[in-house]
Amino acid sequence: MKAVILAGGRGTRGRPFTEYIPKAMIPVQGRPLIYYVVKYLSKFDIIDSIIILGDFSGIGKQIEKYFENHISVKKPIKFIQDTQSGTGGDLIHLRSKLGKNKEFILWFVDNLCPVDINKMYRFHKDSKTVATIAVRRYRKEETGFAIVNKGIIEEFKEKPTIELQMAECLGIYIINSEIINKIKIKKQNKKDLNLSYDILQPLSKKRKIAAYDIGKTQWLDIDSPTRVDRNKELIDSIIKKFGT
Q: For residue 225, give the CATH number of its domain.
A: 3.90.550.10
pLDDT tier, 236 (very low <50, low <70, confident <90, very high otherwise): very high
84 DSSP assignment: S
pLDDT of residue 8: 75
Domain, as residue range, for 106: 2-242
Averaged pLDDT, 72-88: 85
- From residue 3, alpha-carbon distances to 115, 117, 146, 168, 230 in Å are 14, 11, 42, 22, 29
Contacts of 34 (CB under 8 A, 6+ apart): 5, 7, 24, 25, 52, 63, 66, 109
Across the chain, what does the average pLDDT equal?
89
Which is higher by pLDDT, 17 or 98? 98
pLDDT of residue 71: 66
pLDDT of residue 70: 64
Whole-prediction pTM: 0.90
Categorise residue 130: left if φ over 0, alpha if ψ from -120 to 50, beta otherwise.
Answer: alpha
Q: State how many domains the chain has.
A: 1
pLDDT of residue 141: 81
